[in-house]
Amino acid sequence: MTAKDDAQRRVLELLWKDARRPARGPRRGLTTERIVAAAIQVAETEGPAALSMRRVAEELGVGTASLYTYLPGKAELEALMVDAIGAEDTLPDDRPGDWRAKVEAWARADHQLFREHPWVLHLVATVAAPGPNLLRWMDSALRVLAGTGLTEAEKMAVVESVDAYVRGQARLSLDTREPSAEEVRERDALLGELVDFSPYPALVEAVRAGVSPYTGDKFEFGLRLLLDGVEALISSRRASTP
């Protein structure tokens, strides 16, 4: 077993075994839940880069060594944080409406969560160990697509595609600053002076037609196109079913 495999085993054992009491050492008035809550507070106020066993210990007012009687290290702490986040989510199958309404609701909720709490997006992208709450959520998401006629592989692909789209749009919105109207005007004026647009005929045609950069809700536009494709696949499955 490699060191990486051993580390993953420790994380999974902590997630799936009884992690509510320290594995060794005396009780110090802490609980795993308190440690995770303090870590979330650090990430929320200072960002994921500030997260460390030492910083969390400071937040709790204890020595760093005390945390190691409860958790082997930072990787395990991050895995518990991600699982704790999942515990707060409304399950996809518990949302109202048909399959599409449920998917839209969970996609919007996750997108808002990632934008308002960027550290969640960071941890979800880096923690690969699935805990009980993540598997509970995945099971619920797959149940949303029950009765659609999609194969099991297609159901999983839909869930993963929507999740990837939500994360990608959230990441893009966090990494990209929208320019002001004045900045756009100044940029376009400079481009008009400096650039020969003849090598870009399709772009010139669009500009001549009065097309401007899309100013609507790009997230909703893309989500609608994605789910239109899923709906077309579901309709084709139903049409082919005798």
- 188: Cα separation from own chain's centroid: 35
Collapsing DSSP to helix, strand or coil, 25 comes out as coil
Give the model's pLDDT for residue 221: 93
- 34: Cα separation from own chain's centroid: 24
Give the model's pLDDT for residue 13: 78
Q: Which two tokens stand for residue 147?
A: 């009765």
Residue 30 CB partners (closer than 8 Å, separation 6+): 22, 60, 62, 66, 67, 70
Residue among 44, 69, 45 at smallest CA distance from 53: 69
**Binned average pLDDT, 10 residues per bin, the chain of 242 residues:** 63 68 53 92 92 95 91 88 84 96 96 90 82 91 95 96 95 78 81 87 84 75 96 89 68
**Is the separation of the CB atoms in 20 and 31 below 8 Å?**
yes
pTM, to two decimals: 0.80
